[in-house]
C-alpha cells in the first residue's frame, strides 16, 4: 500500500457544485496533514492545514478521520478558478512529508 | 519580495552530461528541499537541508548531489544525466524548526529534458 493515496480523477463538475476529495494514509503515527493546490505547470501552494477538529476556510472544509486514516477536502459552490490539482500531504515521523499524487479538478461553465 | 527562485526554468541536455539546477531564497529559511514531480508519482523528495552545510537524503537521491554553502542557495547537480531524470524539479523552503508540520514554499520549477 502506498503511503499516501488519492483518487487521481479527473473530477469534472459544473460551476456551483459541491465536490469532495479523499486522501488515505498508511502511517498511523502521522500527525500533520495539509492540502496543497497546484495549477497547471505551476508550483504547489498551501491551500490549508487540516486540524483534528476539522477546519473551514470560506468555501473549503478540511476534515481528518484518524480511525480510518483519511483526510478530506470539501469545496462548496465551485468556481472556474478552482480548477487545479489538489495534493494531499501527510507527515511521516520523523520530520518528513509525503505528497500524494494529486486529484485533478475541472470546473465546467 | 523575490521569495524563492529557480534557474534555469527550462533545460534540455544529453545523456551523460552534468547539469546543475539552482535554487535561491531570500527569506533566510533554514530548511530547503529538492523534489521531482513525475506523472503518477506526485512529488518525491530528492534531498533536503536543515541549514548551511547540513544535507540529507530523501526518497530518491541516487544520481544527484547537493550542497549548501550558504543559507540562501541550494544547488542540485545531476552528475551524469540519464533519461529517467527527465522531470520537473521543484525547490522548496520552510522556516519551521519542524518542517514536516509547517508550510513549504515552492519555487516555480525547472523542466529538465534529458535526450
Please give the average per-residue pLDDT across B10-27, as a whole number.
97
Say if residue B101's pLDDT is above 80.
no
Taking the alpha carbons at both ends of chain B, their separation in whole angstroms is 36
- State the cell numbers at B78: 545531476
Partners of residue B30 in chain A, C-beta under 8 Å: none
What are the pLDDT digits (tens) for A15-39?
A: 999 999 999 999 998 888 999 999 9
Nearest to B23 by CA among B93, B98, B102, B115: B93
What are the pLDDT digits (tens) for B43-62?
A: 999 999 999 999 999 999 99
Contact in structure between A98 and A88 (CB atoms under 8 Å): no
Secondary structure (3-state) at A61:
strand
Give the minimum alpha-carbon distance from A92 to chain B in angstroms, rounded to a whole number. Answer: 8
Does A97 contact chain B (CB < 8 Å)?
yes
Amino acid at each position: 500500500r502506498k503511503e499516501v493515496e488519492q483518487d487521481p480523477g479527473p473530477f469534472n463538475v459544473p460551476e456551483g457544485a459541491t465536490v469532495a476529495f479523499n486522501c488515505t494514509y498508511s502511517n498511523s503515527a502521522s500527525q500533520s496533514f495539509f492540502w496543497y493546490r497546484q495549477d497547471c505547470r505551476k508550483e504547489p501552494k498551501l491551500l490549508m492545514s487540516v486540524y483534528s477538529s476539522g477546519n473551514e476556510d470560506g468555501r473549503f472544509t478540511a476534515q481528518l478521520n484518524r480511525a480510518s486514516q483519511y483526510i478530506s477536502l470539501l469545496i462548496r459552490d465551485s468556481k472556474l478558478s478552482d480548477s487545479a490539482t489538489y495534493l494531499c500531504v501527510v507527515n511521516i515521523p520523523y520530520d518528513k512529508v509525503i505528497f500524494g499524487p494529486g486529484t485533478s479538478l475541472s470546473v465546467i461553465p | 519580495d523575490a521569495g524563492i527562485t529557480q534557474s534555469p526554468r527550462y533545460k534540455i541536455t544529453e545523456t551523460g552530461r552534468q547539469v546543475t539546477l539552482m535554487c535561491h531564497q531570500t527569506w533566510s529559511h533554514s530548511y530547503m528541499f529538492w523534489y521531482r514531480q513525475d506523472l503518477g508519482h506526485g512529488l518525491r523528495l530528492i534531498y533536503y537541508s536543515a541549514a548551511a552545510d547540513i544535507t540529507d537524503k530523501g526518497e530518491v537521491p541516487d544520481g544527484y548531489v547537493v550542497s549548501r554553502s550558504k543559507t540562501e542557495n541550494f544547488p542540485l547537480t545531476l552528475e551524469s544525466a540519464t533519461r529517467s531524470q527527465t522531470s520537473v524539479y521543484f525547490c522548496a523552503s520552510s522556516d519551521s524548526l519542524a518542517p514536516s508540520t509547517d508550510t513549504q514554499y515552492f519555487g516555480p520549477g525547472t523542466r529538465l529534458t534529458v535526450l
